[in-house]
């Protein structure tokens, strides 16, 4: 063919086509270089609406052209011809992340971490320049032949008042990678791009999108209605992925928090990270082991295990009407810890956490500011939760998991009866520890302390230890006790060692606000 755009760019062949137009390989005859030219098309809209979208596309593409970042495809030029915009970009020899996942399946953790860091860096640079991407998805993440990870397709117009729809009501983009606020008609924000990044990393790590469906409508319904199944293969990346996929933009994990987790996950793996080029060579072997659904396999009769917590085991979301109810909206007090509460360590070492006594305030309404109290009918207890945190009942065990934004740690409350009688909670923990050691169930296990204390006026014991899971050192404190009427409980808090000091304040507040019914 011999077609020119702006009397300068000769279109050679189409490279790809989607709902927003066609990308062409083209030759810039002025500068004698090969470029990519995107022909932007808005189908099914009236002339007035099309003109508005065209103006927005040109404006945002020009703004994207001012971005200078190694992980952002360079926009060379923007022109209008034949009543539509044409965006001239750097041609990056590459294949998309979508193609890599389709060919290889789930990618190894260090690869996903590197991809996430590159895209996150690109988004942070764009957001600092006032540019939103609005269409982050595996198809727009390029794995370049030269080893770079590059984000492409900036400058796609999307009305802030009608961010996901055209004038005919058809979705623009891929709904499985659109955050719920955009599907609800709210304006796009930097947090919207972060949600899409979370969905993209989920796909890279798991080999499938977090939300699926047989149709666009089904995908939209899934994003708006469902929580994604916790990733099984993401290992230390799981907290970042789930934090970015939080439905509430205000509670969504920040870019800085996600970056810290991605860096830590990458540092835990010594595997050299490199990508095959567009030719489709093999990626390095995948040595990512799925996170087990329980810490020691199938439970025995009346299992004494009061410390199971992997996110993959938490599969049934708790909701109003499903055994949970709100007891109060938000707390108005300040977060004051137990009388002699666990105090954060100040270094990555595993110094024992002191807890000789932990008697909480007798006032059940003394919640930290912004927290709310929830109650479990099945478990017979209530507890304070920070904003954005959610509860999920284990499918088969007598336990509930709590997780949310702001912390890498998570809490499990379990109320399983012991298999046999113990003289005290310390004896229970020592017996359980010996069983674990005998079966070799914890990798790189090391006890920090088993210590007695008084908690809510009853004898209790804290079992503190470290272990390795998915290449990450996990720090645990597990508080066991029986209520005055004899009911057993355990408050199990775990966090990556790198965030232990910062996150321990959450366990302090949870222990203070826990109340048996």
Largest CA distance in the chain: 88
Q: How far apart, in Å, are the Cα atoms of 396 and each of 303, 315, 487?
A: 12, 10, 19
Q: 3-class SS at 435?
A: helix
CA distances from residue 269 to 95, 117, 236, 290, 394 in whole angstroms, order as listed:
24, 15, 10, 15, 30
Q: How many CA atoms lie within 13 A of 367 on its CB side?
A: 21
Q: Out of 77, 135, 193, 462, pick the active-site residue.
A: 135
Under 8 Å between Cβ of 291 and 238: yes
Phi and psi, residue 202, nearest 5°: -60, -45
Phi-psi region at 175: left, alpha or beta (left = phi > 0; alpha = psi -120 to 50): alpha
The question of whether 153 is a catalytic residue gets the answer no
* Neighbouring C-alpha atoms within 13 Å toward the C-beta of 504: 25
What does residue 266 show for φ and ψ, rounded to 5 degrees?
A: -65, -40
Q: Which residues pair with 373 in a beta bridge?
A: 328, 384
Cα distances (angstroms) measured from residue 151 to each of 72, 76, 123: 5, 15, 9
Contact 238, 231 (CB under 8 A): yes
- The rounded distance, in Å, linking the Cα atoms of 340 and 357 is 6
Bridging pattern class, strands 21-28 and 33-40: antiparallel
Cα–Cα–Cα angle for 242, 247, 252, rounded to 5 degrees: 60
Q: What angle do CA 294, 295, 298 make, to 5 degrees?
A: 55
- Among 316, 334, 325, smallest CA distance to 373 is for 325
DSSP 250: G
Q: Which residues are catalytic?
A: 135
């Amino acid at each position: 063919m011999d077609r020119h755009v702006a009397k300068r760019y000769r279109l050679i062949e189409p490279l790809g086509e989607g709902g927003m137009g066609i990308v062409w390989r083209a030759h810039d005859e002025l500068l004698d270089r090969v470029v990519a030219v995107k022909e932007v098309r808005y189908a099914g809209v009236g002339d007035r609406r099309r003109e508005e979208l065209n103006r927005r596309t040109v404006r945002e593409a020009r703004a994207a052209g001012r971005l200078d970042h190694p992980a952002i495809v360079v926009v060379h030029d923007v022109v209008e011809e034949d009543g539509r915009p044409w965006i001239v970009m750097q041609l990056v020899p590459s294949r998309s992340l979508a193609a890599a996942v389709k060919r290889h399946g789930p990618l190894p953790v260090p690869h996903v971490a590197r991809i996430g860091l590159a895209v996150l860096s690109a988004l942070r640079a764009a957001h600092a320049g006032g540019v939103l991407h609005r269409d982050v998805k595996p198809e727009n993440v390029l794995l370049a032949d030269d080893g770079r990870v590059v984000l492409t397709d900036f400058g796609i117009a999307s009305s802030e008042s009608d961010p996901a729809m055209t004038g005919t009501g058809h979705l623009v983009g891929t709904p499985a990678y659109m955050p719920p606020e955009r599907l609800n008609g709210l304006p796009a924000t930097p947090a919207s791009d972060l949600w899409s990044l979370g969905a993209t990393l989920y796909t890279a790590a798991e080999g499938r999108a977090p939300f699926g469906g047989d149709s666009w409508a089904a995908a939209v319904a899934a994003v708006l209605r469902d929580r994604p199944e916790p990733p099984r293969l993401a290992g230390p990346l799981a907290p970042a992925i789930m934090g970015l996929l939080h439905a509430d933009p205000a509670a969504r994990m920040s870019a800085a928090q996600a970056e810290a987790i991605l860096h830590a996950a990458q540092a835990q793996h010594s595997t050299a990270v490199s990508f095959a080029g567009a030719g489709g060579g093999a990626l390095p072997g995948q040595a990512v082991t799925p996170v087990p659904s329980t810490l020691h396999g199938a439970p025995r009769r009346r299992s004494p295990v009061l410390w199971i917590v992997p996110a993959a085991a938490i599969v049934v979301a708790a909701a109003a009407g499903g055994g949970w109810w709100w007891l109060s909206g938000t707390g108005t007090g300040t977060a004051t810890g137990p009388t002699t509460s666990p105090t954060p360590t100040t270094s990555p070492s595993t110094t024992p956490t002191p807890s000789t006594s932990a008697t909480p305030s007798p006032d059940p309404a003394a919640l930290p500011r912004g927290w709310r109290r929830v109650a479990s009918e099945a478990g017979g207890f209530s507890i304070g939760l920070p904003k954005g945190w959610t509860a999920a009942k284990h499918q088969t065990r007598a336990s509930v998991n709590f997780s949310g934004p702001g912390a890498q740690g998570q809490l499990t409350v379990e109320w399983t009866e012991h298999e046999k009688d113990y003289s005290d909670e310390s004896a229970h923990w020592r017996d359980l520890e010996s069983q674990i050691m005998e079966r070799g169930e914890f990798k790189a296990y090391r006890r920090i302390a088993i210590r007695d204390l008084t908690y809510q006026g009853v004898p209790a014991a804290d079992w503190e230890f470290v272990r390795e899971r998915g290449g990450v050192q996990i720090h645990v404190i597990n508080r066991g006790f029986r209520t005055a009427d004899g009911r057993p409980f355990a408050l199990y808090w775990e966090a990556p060692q790198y965030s232990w000091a910062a996150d321990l304040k959450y366990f302090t507040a949870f222990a203070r606000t826990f109340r048996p019914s």
